[in-house]
Amino acid sequence: MSANSPSLGDDETTFTAYSTALAEAFELVAESWFVELVEKRVPGATADHGRADALRAAAADTAAQLRALLAADIAVQQVGPLEILRRSVVGAPTEILQAVGAEPVQRDDFAVTNFPGDVFDLTPASFADVDPTLHEPGLVWGAAKAHIHLRRRREAGGQ
């Protein structure tokens, strides 16, 4: 490694910045994403203040879970950030759709098996499905996490 190459510590500092950027980007779109999930299936369903408040609280809770995950060292992260977003859709958005009488949708076998509680097919396949502005921060975060993981393994093995 050349003397001008960044250290592992430098790379980890950069990774922390990418983690923060992803968390902040999600926080900017979280509430509108939850509202859109419901409104696309039942227009007007979020006009009720109680439902709007439930979505706002769910967005804040999901953002806090995401921020906590992204603040943790990669060695202890048991799930990825997209998994947190996927789990969140079976909370308030699904409950509201059920409460307003929305009909569950037909889903393929993969969705039924992997996301059994998501009867309205709300689960995002990617960060861009949540909001296009999350595509780049999510991609950069994932690449940086892989880099840190490989670098730690390489340095621990003396390679």
Which CA distances in Å does 87 have to 37, 93, 114? Answer: 14, 11, 11
pLDDT tens, position by position, 42-58: 999 999 899 999 999 99
Model pLDDT for residues 111-155, shown as the tens digit of each residue = 999 999 999 999 999 999 999 999 999 999 999 999 999 999 998
Per-residue pLDDT, 159: 57
Nearest to 39 by CA among 125, 97, 115, 104: 97
Q: What is the pTM of this model?
A: 0.91
Cα–Cα distance for residue pair 28/24, rounded to 1 Å: 6
Average pLDDT, the chain: 94
Q: What percent of the chain has pLDDT over 90?
A: 91
Residue 41 has pLDDT above 60, yes or no: yes
